[in-house]
Structure 1
Amino acid sequence: MTIFKPVFTAIALALVSASVVPSAHAGDTLLMQRARQAESMNLPKKGMSMADVERRFGSPTSKLDARGGGSRKQPVINRWMYPGYIVYFERSHVIHTVLNTPAGNNTHP
């Protein structure tokens, strides 16, 4: 009986792994599509100042409460929401722009 236990475990592991792989590829594909979409859009770029973003893209629909700022290693992070994307600033410069998810589940970024 002990011979079959490792074989059974290996087969079960292989089946579980095989069932996970297709969903991982689908997720990767969606992520790649969103990355291409973001690249083709006119979005705030890394390094832009808050003033530049507001001048070029207009006022955000909302400015979320700042986070961090407790120390030099944890700078203040500001987040501005625009229709379709969120702009993240470290202190007063863009560090990242993120498209809203199709499901709209980033309501508390």
Structure 2
Amino acid sequence: MKKNRTLFGVMAVMATLSFAPASGALAEEIKIPVGSQAARDQGQFPASGLTQASVRTKWGNPTEVRGPVGEPPITQWIYPDFIVYFEGNRVIHTVLKPEH
């Protein structure tokens, strides 16, 4: 009987700890100011759905190309201020690089 209570107590502690918030020792907190990217004119960057040809026409050749990788093929075009992600021939996302 005592073993069952001890086992139940250990299991209860483990369950409680599994729902506890992670401490700073387990994760690093990254703070990004609200609107930090919104302050930059996002209309100046490739939008989802554009083709590789249209991106190249408007923004020129990227400084670096990575990929394609995986299935469906994902390619990254790196520009000085942003990175464009393509799935096949179409933009799926554009990520702004942090301002230094």
Which amino acid is the alignment partner of residue 82 of structure 2? Y
Q: Verify: 1:17 aligned to 2:19, yes or no.
A: yes
The percent of aligned pairs where both chains have the same amino acid is 31
Which amino acid is the alignment partner of residue 58 of structure 1? G
Match of 1:94? 91
Deviations 1:20-66 (A, max 9, x none): 27778x46xx5xx4895455542321011223222333321112232
Q: C-alpha root-mean-square deviation of aligned residues, in Å?
A: 3.4
Which amino acid is the alignment partner of residue 8 of structure 1? V
Report the TM-score, using the length of structure 2 for normalisation: 0.59
Please list, as runs of the form range in 1=range in 2, the aligned pairs for 1:64-83 lying within 5 A after superposition.
64-68=66-70, 74-83=71-80
Give 1 or 2 for the bigger CA radius of gyration.
Answer: 2
Specify every segment of 5 or more residues in structure 1 that has no aligned partner in the other structure, as ranges.
69-73, 102-109
Higher helix share: 1
- Aligned pair count? 91
Match of 1:107? none
Report the TM-score, using the length of structure 1 for normalisation: 0.56
Match of 1:47? 49
